[in-house]
Amino acid sequence: MEKKFYTVNVYSENTVGILNQVTNVFTRRQVNIESLTVSRSSIPGVHKYTITATTDEETIAKMVRQIERRIDVLKAFYYLDDEIIFQEIALYKIPTDKVMEHGIIEQVVRRYNARILEMNRGYTVIEQTGHNEEIEQLYRDLEPTGILQFVRSGRISITKSSIERLSNFLAEMEAKRLASEQSYK
């Protein structure tokens, strides 16, 4: 099967040790995680993981179901790039004298829409958000200045679909909870 680049979104309860359980599913099938971002979601108590990996669809579909099988995982989904809006962030630290020498500030701001976060005598920190290619292109452009440090985040993403699958799931589970309480009364 053809290998593609997938973005996996996992929603879980905020309990200790779930990250391990999620990554174990990848380890077992020796699928390399390209990037991983974990943070609170907009729903109280629910954490969201955004994981990217290259594999075939059959594998990713099975893995997502095996992730969902973990008790504290609420839901997991997988997407191709055209189904989501996604972003990464990168920081570049460059010697300030080189920045002056190369006169790149205007280019960085106009062409890349990047921001200057800090500038002092010693160094300048530039922030770039965008897709992988844009971040890499800026890296190449800045390379002649002698990059001191470079760091990038994993991908974060939002679905294009108008159906909010997690909210639907939570509503469904809330109905089940109420029903179960009724039946024990």
Partner 1 sequence: MSERINGAEALMRSFKEENVTTIFGYPGGFIIPVFDALYSYQKEFDCILTRHEQGAVHAAQGYARVTGQPGVVIVTSGPAATNVITGLADAMLDSTPLVVITGQSIVAQLGTDSFQETDVIGITQPVTKWSYQIRRAEDLPWAVARAFYIAREGRPGPVVLDLTKDAQTQLFDFEYEKCRFIRSYQPNPTPDQADLALAADLINLAKRPMAVVGQGVMLGHAEKELYEFLEKADIPAASTLLGLSIMANDYPLNMGMVGMHGNVAPNRKTGECDVLIAIGCRFSDRVTGDINTYAANANIIHFDIDPSELNKNVRVFLPVLGNVKQTLPAVTRLLKPARHTEWIASFKTYKEQEDKQVIARDLHPEGPAITMAETVKCISDKSGKQAVLVADVGQNEMVSARYFSAGPGRQFVASGGLGTMGFCLPAAVGAALGAPTSEIYAVCGDGGIQMTIQELGTIMQYQLPVKVVVLNNNFLGMVRQWQELFWDKRYSSTRMQNPDFVQLAASYHIAGRRVEKREELSEAVQQMIDHKGPYLLEVHVEEEGMVYPMIPAGQPISNIIMGPSEK
Interface with partner 1 (CB under 8 A): 12-13, 16-17, 20-21, 24, 28, 61-62, 65-66, 68-69, 71-74, 170, 173-174, 176-177, 180-181, 184
| Least CB distance to partner 1 at residue 22 (A) | 10
Task: Please say which residue, 39 or 180, places its beta carbon nearer to partner 1.
Answer: 180
DSSP calls for the chain: --EEEEEEEEEEES-TTHHHHHHHHHHHTTPPEEEEEEEE-SSTTEEEEEEEEEEEHHHHHHHHHHHHTSTTEEEEEEE-GGGEEEEEEEEEEEEHHHHHHHT-HHHHHHHH--EEEEE-SSEEEEEEEE-HHHHHHHHHHHGGG--SEEEE---EEEE--S--HHHHHHHHHHHHHHHHHHHH-
CB nearer to partner 1: pick between 61 and 100:
61
Give the residue with the Cβ less far from partner 1, 115 or 176. Answer: 176
Least distance from partner 1 to the Cβ atom of residue 71, Å: 5
Q: Which is nearer to partner 1, 62 or 160 (CB)?
A: 62
Decide whether 19 or 147 has the Cβ nearer to partner 1: 19
For residue 72, the minimal CB distance to partner 1 (Å) is 5
CB of 166 to partner 1, least distance (A): 11
Smallest gap from residue 69 Cβ to partner 1 (A): 5
